[in-house]
Structure 1
Amino acid sequence: MKFKTGLLALLLAGQAFAGVAIQPDNAQLQYTGRIDFADRARPMLSWPGTSIEGNFTGAALAVKLDDQLGKNLFNVFIDGDLAKPVVIEAAQGSKTYPVASGLTPGAHRFLITKRTEGEEGGTFFQGLELADGGKLLPPPPRKKRHIEFFGDSITSGMGNESPDNGPDDRRQDKNNFMSYASITARALDAEAHITSQSGIGVMISWFPFTMPDFYDQLSAVGNNDTHWDFKAWTPEVVVINLFQNDRWLIDREKRLSPMPTDDQRIAAYRTFVQKIRALYPNAYIVCALGSMDAVQEGSKWPGYVRSAVDQMQASGDQRIDTLVFPWTGFGGHPRVKQHQANAAQLTAFIRQKMGW
């Protein structure tokens, strides 16, 4: 389903959605991800993959959003049909988006996920509207497993729904739900936090801040002074997939002067991983890389990651390892089929290490 066609059809259906208003602070809404609840009546979603889900009755569902920039997109899945999302292309400002109508009597389920990321701005969730007589039901049980991903455009899902021979920087082709990170989490029945930003690096980014500046923020909208409470949610597994942008900006673009030595690159990566280890002393950390050209034949960057991990293992950290996604020769951002292959590799790796 093309999202414009699907949404337009719903808008033209003329359904009345002004029946039952569900406020954002309703206890039966289940939120997942780093979501800013400074105002419980206007929680802000900014990180890719952040989600809201719940169970309800009634023949119709609409979603109310107030988008900062008019650049975000969201998936809405009804009754667990993950192959056919209704895609909301958020307009700037406050608006109600009809997403389902003509539903059968009885219980239904919805899942809203943010396709886009912090560079598209934040979105304030303003609640739901159900058809007359509809109500929220208790939410599904929370998943017992937790995985956090720290990454760049690959982890965000930049361009994953682009045609193979087309541009892959359009926001409408970015779908975090079909990134290797989100696919892996679903395969392992785990809750995921996606702490990623397209263009970000460890030593240098395509903008003035790096992941060591960004990883601890509550809001993903640029470099800001918000603070995530790391005690609020603890992962058993952490996956770090960084260094692709460092490779481009250091080796190709020559943006760092003087050029860092191999030892300095390894040390910069190790220092960041040690920050994560200090936050999560019991987590199993997977230091991944790929599948873009940082892992192509002859690249030194997988070796930098391995060396940093080797140094941490030699210092006594035995709950850390390296995983390199293979270079396929494809020059652009990974498409969904490559994300699926990488997710299969990562899923098997985590199952082996964690016994999941």
Structure 2
Amino acid sequence: MKVKYTHLAAAAVLFCLSCSSTNSSKHAIDALPATALQPYGRHTLNLAQNLELISSAVHFGYTFEGNESRIFASIPNGNGHNYLQYELDGVYQKRIRVSGDSADPIVIKAPTGGKHTVWVYKATEAHTGPIAIEKVTGKNVSAIKKPAAPVIEFIGNSITCGAAADPSEVPCGTGEYHDQHNALMAYGPRVAAAVGANYIVSCVSGIGAYRNWNSDGPAMPQVYEKIDFQDNNPQHWNFGTYTPQVVSIALGTNDFSQGDGKRERLPFDSTRFINEYVKFVQLVKSKYPQARIALLSSPMVNGNNRLTLQNALTEVKAQIDARYPADKPVALHFFQPMQASGCTGHPSVEEHDVLAQELVPFFNQLLQPGM
């Protein structure tokens, strides 16, 4: 009997160990593959089935339990770096440097246990290069999607990108150009948050309507359809992915630029600017026939050029409204003059807040039913 009891006890011990193993596996660290994420903004899945974040402020969300989760991110340039930024439980945290020579995951730490929500954003613009997400790990990690809401697409240049806005970690005049990018704190995402909208940011630093900061092109009309706004990329963006209710276009700053002073620069050509801008608005309308078009001026264009830009945008509106009499009229907003204090004369993070506050009533009105 004693021997029999020993065998039964051993069996019981093995059974309990099995139970313990099963229970622990339920609470093991889970892996969420990139294919399960639900990004918002320009993105693609590469051949390795990693999620490539392309456009400024493209973002994805997930939840996890406990104190820690990990994001496995990489960039194609082994000698370069890029930036993500994130919110934890609705509170903005910081930018995160992604180095090409590091295989270490990004660790997201929560101050308490329980369930947490994370939103991860690309802090830099498309021309900085993609950031590839392989997977996210954590206890009971699960992907979430953006709640249904009206969509605003913000098209523009470096201002729209949030470029040169944040020298908090890398001072102005040092590091690489994208070291001061902060896409999430640019006026577009701020406006969208304030009016309860989702958003897409389609921007390129230095780009214009008919010419760029220091070149004759390719300008926004030539690269808008390309997934990463690169003229030589054969891959086009699928415009059926989102249906914006409002498309905001803010071009003109770089058309007025004098460039670097070394390359020959002809005087600003109002006629060409208007013609190319009208063609671009028509291109946008072909992608989003039901969207309301809003044209913004530039807080960085002042003096006589400010009036010239406003007159040109007014003419663009007149021509589009005449060509599309059945559509909602083009909306205009002219920024108040600003002496920007960010890097290279761009609006700072704080000044983007000023721009956003100025724009909120304008976009609120555009999102009203029937407007």
Structure-2-length-normalised TM-score: 0.81
The answer to whether 1:176 aligns with 2:183 is yes
Counterpart for residue 144 of structure 1: 149
1:126 to 118, 127, 134: 134
Question: In 2, distance between residues paired with 1:252 and 1:325?
Answer: 27
1:229 to 232, 235, 238: 238
Q: Amino acid of the residue matched to residue 158 of structure 1? A: A
Counterpart for residue 34 of structure 2: 24
What are the within-5 Å matches in structure 2 for residues 301-312 of structure 1? 301-312=309-320
- Superposed CA RMSD in Å reads 2.6
The answer to whether 1:190 aligns with 2:203 is no
Question: In 2, distance between residues paired with 1:311 and 1:286?
Answer: 14
The answer to whether 1:41 aligns with 2:62 is no
User: 3-state DSSP class of the match of 1:128?
Assistant: strand
Decide whether aligned partners of structure 1 residues 162 and 297 sit closer, same or farther in structure 2, where only a CA change above 3 A counts: farther
Runs of 4+ in 1 over 6 A off after TM superposition: 250-254
Q: Amino acid of the residue matched to residue 135 of structure 1? A: N
User: 3-state DSSP class of the match of 1:231?
Assistant: coil
2:89 to 73, 76, 79: 79
User: 3-state DSSP class of the match of 2:256?
Assistant: helix
Decide whether aligned partners of structure 1 residues 223 and 288 sit closer, same or farther in structure 2, where only a CA change above 3 A counts: farther
Counterpart for residue 342 of structure 1: 355
Moved more, 345-354 or 281-290: 345-354
Counterpart for residue 218 of structure 2: 209
CA positional deviation for 1:155: 0.2
Question: In 1, distance between residues paired with 2:181 and 2:219?
Answer: 21
- Indicate if the aligned counterparts of 1:149 and 1:195 stay in contact, CA closer than 8 A: yes
**Rg bigger for which structure?**
2
Deviations, residues 47-89 of structure 1 (Å, cap 9, x unaligned): 110111111223211111111233311102211112x23x221
User: 3-state DSSP class of the match of 1:56?
Assistant: strand
Counterpart for residue 339 of structure 2: 329
- Indicate if the aligned counterparts of 2:73 and 2:106 stay in contact, CA closer than 8 A: no
CA positional deviation for 1:143: 3.1
- Indicate if the aligned counterparts of 2:72 and 2:134 stay in contact, CA closer than 8 A: yes
The answer to whether 1:283 aligns with 2:291 is yes
What are the within-5 Å matches in structure 2 for residues 228-307 of structure 1? 228-249=237-258, 255=264, 261-293=269-301, 295-299=302-306, 300-307=308-315
Q: Amino acid of the residue matched to residue 185 of structure 2? A: M
CA positional deviation for 1:102: 5.6
Q: Amino acid of the residue matched to residue 81 of structure 1? A: V
Deviations, residues 162-206 of structure 1 (Å, cap 9, x unaligned): 37x944974222100000011111112211111101011111123
- Indicate if the aligned counterparts of 1:201 and 1:210 stay in contact, CA closer than 8 A: yes
- Indicate if the aligned counterparts of 1:116 and 1:174 stay in contact, CA closer than 8 A: yes
Decide whether aligned partners of structure 1 residues 100 and 232 sit closer, same or farther in structure 2, where only a CA change above 3 A counts: closer
Decide whether aligned partners of structure 1 residues 344 and 160 sit closer, same or farther in structure 2, where only a CA change above 3 A counts: same
Moved more, 238-247 or 308-317: 308-317
Moved more, 213-222 or 170-179: 213-222
CA positional deviation for 1:40: 7.0
Deviations, residues 231-253 of structure 1 (Å, cap 9, x unaligned): 12110010000111111148988
Residue correspondences, number: 329
User: 3-state DSSP class of the match of 1:227?
Assistant: coil
| Identity over aligned pairs, percent | 25
Q: Amino acid of the residue matched to residue 219 of structure 2? A: T
The answer to whether 1:95 aligns with 2:116 is no
Q: Amino acid of the residue matched to residue 345 of structure 1? A: E
The answer to whether 1:354 aligns with 2:367 is yes
Counterpart for residue 159 of structure 1: 164
Q: Amino acid of the residue matched to residue 354 of structure 1? A: L
CA positional deviation for 1:103: 4.7
Question: In 2, distance between residues paired with 1:42 and 1:333?
Answer: 34
Unaligned runs of 5+ in 1: 1-17
Decide whether aligned partners of structure 1 residues 159 and 141 sit closer, same or farther in structure 2, where only a CA change above 3 A counts: closer
